[in-house]
A and B are shown apart, each in its own frame.
Chain A
Amino acid sequence: MAAAKVPRNFRLLEELEKGEKGQGAEACSYGLDDPEDLLMSNWNGTILGPPHSVHENRIYSVKMHCGKDYPDKPPEIWFRSQINLPGVDITTGKVDRQHLRCLAEWKREHTMETILIELRRFMASSQNKKLQQPAEGTMYDQEPTLPA
Chain B
Amino acid sequence: MADNAEGSATKLSFKVKTSGDGLHSITIGEFSTVLDLKTKLSGEDYENISVDRMRLIYSGRVMKNEEPLSTYKIKNGNTIHMVKSAASNPTPANTSAAASTLAQPAVPPNMSAGTSANNPLDHLTGARYAGFANLPSADLFGPNGGMGAPPSMDEVADMLSNPQSAQLLNEAMSNPGFLDMMIENNPMLRNLPNAREILQQQLPTIRHLMSDPEAMRNMMRMRSMFEGGMPGAGGAGGAGGFPAPGATDTSGSNPASGGQQANPFAGLMGGNPFLNPFGAQPPSYARSTPGTGGAASPGAAISTPGANTTASSGGATAGSNDSNTGAGAGATGASQPQAGSPGAAQANPFAALFSAMNQAQGGAGAGAAGSPGVGAGQNPPMNPFMADPQAMQNMLQNLGLGGGAAAAPADNRPPEERYADQLRQLNDMGFTDFDSNVTALRRSGGSVQGAIEYLLSG
Contact = CB atoms under 8 A, between A and B. Distances in A.
A43 B60 CA distance: 8
Given A26-B19, A29-B81, A59 B86 contact: no
B11 interface: no
Interface of chain A, helix or strand or loop or mixed?
strand
Given A26-B81, A57-B86, A46 B60 contact: yes
Of the candidates A19, A20, A57, A62, the one having the most CB atoms from chain B within 10 angstroms of its own CB is A20
B298 to A, nearest CB: 46
Contacts of A46: 57, 60-62
B60 A30 contact: yes
Contacts, number: 59
Interface in A34-73: 35, 43-46, 48, 56-57, 59, 61-62
Contacts of A7: none
Interface string B77-102: 11111010110000000000000000
Contact of A31 (B17, B55, B60, B424): B60
A29 B78 CA distance: 12
Contact of A44 (B60, B75, B86): B60
A21 B77 CA distance: 7
Query: What's the interface size class on A, roughly?
Result: 20 to 34
Nearest to B84: A57
A118 to B, nearest CB: 16
Nearest to B77: A21
A138 interface: no
A48 B17 CA distance: 14
A22 interface: yes
A14 B402 CA distance: 48
B79 A20 contact: yes
A29 B57 CA distance: 7
A21 B60 contact: no
A19 B60 contact: yes
Contact of A23 (B60, B83, B424): B424
A124 interface: no
B75 A20 contact: yes
B83 A48 contact: yes
B73 interface: yes
A123 interface: no
Given A20-B75, A21-B79, A22-B17, A57 B85 contact: yes
Given A22-B15, A26-B17, A61 B81 contact: no
Contact of B59 (A23, A26, A32, A48): A32
B431 interface: no
Contacts of A20: 58-59, 75, 78-79
Nearest to B423: A23
A29 B58 contact: yes
Interface string A104-146: 0000000000000000000000000000000000000000000
B59 A31 contact: yes
B61 A44 contact: yes
Interface in B403-427: 420, 424
Contacts of B77: 21
A44 B72 CA distance: 12
B83 A59 contact: yes
A61 B60 contact: yes
Nearest to B60: A44
B73 A45 contact: no
Nearest to A36: B73
A29 B60 contact: yes
A22 B81 contact: yes
A59 B59 CA distance: 13
Interface in A84-112: none
A57 B60 CA distance: 16
Interface string B125-140: 0000000000000000
Interface of B: 15, 17, 19, 55, 57-62, 73, 75, 77-81, 83, 85-86, 420, 424
14 contacts: A19-B59, A20-B59, A20-B78, A21-B79, A22-B81, A29-B58, A29-B59, A29-B60, A44-B60, A44-B61, A45-B60, A59-B57, A59-B62, A62-B60
Interface of A: 19-23, 26, 29-32, 35, 43-46, 48, 56-57, 59, 61-62
Given A26-B17, A48-B19, A61-B61, 15 more contacts: A21-B77, A21-B78, A22-B15, A22-B78, A22-B80, A26-B19, A26-B81, A31-B58, A44-B59, A45-B60, A48-B83, A57-B83, A57-B86, A59-B57, A61-B60
Closest 7 CB pairs of A and B: A31-B59, A22-B79, A44-B60, A30-B60, A45-B60, A20-B78, A31-B60
